[in-house]
Amino acid sequence: MTAGEAGIGRLAGTVARLHREVDEARAAADGRALVELAKGVLVERLRCGPAQAAQQLAQLAERAGTTQLQLAVEIINEVAGDGLTAAPVVADEPDATTAIRLRTAESAALRADDTQAVAQSLFAHALAPLGATAVAIWSAGADSSLTLAGQAGFGAGEAGRWRYVPPGVLTPARRALVERATVWLEDLAATGLPSIGADLPGRVAVPAGTGGRITGVLEICWPDPLTPQPLSVHKQVEALAELCAATLDVIAPSTPDHLKSAPSELVDLADGLLDPTLVLGPELSADGTVTDFRVHHVNGRFVDIAGRPRATVVGKLLLEIYPLAAAEGNLFDKVEHVHSTGEPFRADRMTLAALVDEVPVTVTASVSITRHGVLVLVVWRVQDEAARLANLLQHAQRLGRVGGFEEDLSSGRIIWNSQLHSLYGRGADERPVPLAEITAHAHPDDVPSLNGFLHNVLHYHRSSAAAFRLQRGDGVTRHVRVIAEPVLDSQGTLLAVRGAYQDASAQHWTEVALSATQDQLAITAQEAAERNKLTLQLQQVIMPPTHPTIEAFGLRVAVRYRPAEQEELVGGDWYDAVVLPTKQILVSVGDITGHGIKGATGMVVLRNALRGLAATGAGPAQLLTWLNLVAHHLTENIMATAICGLYDPVTRVLRWARAGHLPPVLIRDGQGELLPMLRGLMLGALSEATYQEGELQLEPGDTLLLYTDGLVERRDLALDECLERLRTQVQRPWSGLDELLDHLLDTSDSNTDDDTCVVGVTLP
């Protein structure tokens, strides 16, 4: 070996040694930085000084049998919790070295001023040890184009050729952007997809973004076909993509103010369009995913497909105002895809749907959706006027199924469909008749009813309907039914009226047949009225509204009865109060199921049967057992509830039993108390039934109330609440039993349209 060769060899050895020393120094410096960072964590967690933290770190490492550097890495990983250094990615690389390398890559990426520096840092510290030879960071444009924001490992000419990828060119990065998922390719050539560095077959493309919005793509290349990678590599590649998103996202997703209002430029753009336009902003959950989109602005051309005013749409959530948009492949999916990928969506024919009074209303429109920063612009155009009239026709079908109209009261603009023009006998170019002028086209005899109809709609803002004879200008008279409903804003101001006219006219033979049917119905109605009158008379004879007060053996019994207000609902409530041959006093109330003749006759049967059975001297429970047999076997499907009581004047004990009836109320010392719900089945339900018997010792001044459900029941309240209201209502001093019963009957707010019966028993 010559002297020159030996010198070159020594220089090479020196250079290699210096490289090793530099690498070791860098590793040692990074290691010291990690140890110092871990000490800082201990200072914060243990609330101690730096010296105590260093001592604590040394003691913990000694007890764990590991180095301080390895323990520092574990402490930092636990605090960070991001999974970036969750597992080593190179099999023969020590865990501490791997952690230092990845932490260094993370630190350098976060300190970088631009995406190019981020790409170089990720490649040098994290990707080259994986065997990757190049990396590209793509920025996604609002039109779904891709711009090369940073790269490492590619030649200058290759990077220049791929500086910009226009929309529509399918590359691995475009696939990841559109599919919103990581794309692993074993061999790029086998897929036929073009991309930067076509001579590098193995690669992965990972979407990068925050807050549900993809801002770019991280693409990593290997020199050989890519074999399946372990889960640790998958996780770290995704973590590196999140680092890229921090520099690509020019609008910080953590700042909520950017969603409070739309930028003025976007508002000006929306207001300048001639089609209905919405500006939508994403609503994010706690984990950063998009849950819905809020309407920040609508332009002056916006017309809600459900007929609501613009003011009621702004500020609402998209799925709140258009819940049918959540269907798969519908509007919400398209808006979410555009917001996430930046790829614009356009469709010449798309179905838009809304709910109006739980009825789906649909229109077909051309739709355009584009992303502008973090917001989304939705533009739709109902295809033609026929579609608009079809929307009005759906309202007309919902209300009257003939001629629909809509009238804007602020502008005076009126929309009629062709059927309504024909009904009025007017040409399509003639002025529609405002709703307020409807009386000028009606028969004079129908004007009063139409005035009431207009008052309901225009003054009270209530939906209403009216029938009248429409007198047309050509002398033809049509029998018409008009239905209208008001359209109000959030403050209750009347904005518009929409509705329908229904032509109720018919041919002469139909009118004749209808007249004959009406005559027959009148006869039937008269017969029904006579039958109801007979039933009421029968009931009043047997059960008069008042019963003479019974005073016997120191006991006073008074009765009040009120039949149903509607004659056809006359029912079978009954009461009885009589002194028996045994010197006991029988007190009872009952309620027959059903109304009319059947209820009245059933009431007579059971009431008289109970009187006859009571003469045997049996107790209340036995009397109800026998009365149940009468209801089940000796009547025609009669069922009833009842309470039967026997008062012994010697002992002042009232024995009682109930058959499915409401419990009596005892008034003692000014306090009301519901008696217990004794066991007892409704009369007539089963052939055999037993009844529980209770006893009540009456004291001087006590009052006992027996009543039917017509006194207390309300459709809008639970039965227990109705009984509690009765109990509290009687809790006050009363001058006498008659005053109490009259008060209960007069103040009863029951709304079941049923008979009412009250029996009061008092021991003076």
Q: Domain ranges in the chain?
A: 256-383, 387-505, 538-762
pLDDT of residue 109: 65
Give the model confidence (pLDDT) of 383-395 as tens digits.
755 555 566 656 6
Residues 573, 603: contact at Cβ < 8 Å?
Answer: yes
Residue 16 and residue 672: Cα distance in Å, rounded? Answer: 104
pLDDT of residue 205: 94
Strands 290-298 and 277-284: antiparallel
pLDDT of residue 254: 36
Q: Is the four-CA dihedral 435, 440, 446, 449 of positive or negative sign?
A: positive
Residue 739 and residue 214: Cα distance in Å, rounded? Answer: 79
Residue 272 and residue 539: Cα distance in Å, rounded? Answer: 77
Can you give the C-alpha Rg of the chain in angstroms?
Answer: 44
pLDDT of residue 63: 67
pLDDT of residue 102: 65
Residues 30, 103: contact at Cβ < 8 Å?
Answer: yes
pLDDT of residue 224: 92
Residue 345 and residue 347: Cα distance in Å, rounded? Answer: 7
pLDDT of residue 605: 84
Q: Phi and psi (nearest 5°) for 636?
A: -95, 90
pLDDT of residue 46: 62
Residue 749 and residue 437: Cα distance in Å, rounded? Answer: 42
Q: Phi and psi (nearest 5°) for 348?
A: -75, -30
The list of the chain residues with pLDDT below 50 reads 3, 82-94, 250-260, 508, 569
Residues 213, 253: contact at Cβ < 8 Å?
Answer: yes
CATH of domain 256-383: 3.30.450.20
Q: Is the four-CA dihedral 205, 206, 212, 213 of positive or negative sign?
A: negative
pLDDT of residue 255: 34
Containing H/E element for 218? strand 213-222
pLDDT of residue 303: 84
Provide the token pair at 262. Answer: 């739309």
Q: CA angle 447-451-456, nearest 5°?
A: 150
- Kindly report the average pLDDT of the chain as a whole number: 80
Same topology, domains 387-505 and 538-762? Answer is no
- Which fold does the domain 538-762 belong to in CATH? Phosphatase 2c; domain 1 (3.60.40)
Residue 163 and residue 148: Cα distance in Å, rounded? Answer: 5
* Secondary structure class of 551 (helix, strand, coil): strand
Which of 224, 72, 195 minimizes the C-alpha distance to 133?
A: 224
Side-chain half-sphere CA neighbours of 597 within 13 A:
8
pLDDT of residue 35: 73
Residues 678, 693: contact at Cβ < 8 Å?
Answer: yes
* Secondary structure class of 460 (helix, strand, coil): coil
Q: CA angle 520-526-530, nearest 5°?
A: 145
**Residue 325 DSSP symbol:** G
Question: What is the CA 340 to chain-centroid distance, rounded?
Answer: 25
Separation in Å, CA 533 to CA 120, 530, 537: 100, 5, 6
CATH of domain 387-505: 3.30.450.20
Give the model confidence (pLDDT) of 110-165 as tens digits.
666 678 888 888 888 888 888 899 999 998 877 678 889 899 999 888 888 888 88
Which of 363, 334, 150, 330 minimizes the C-alpha distance to 240?
A: 150
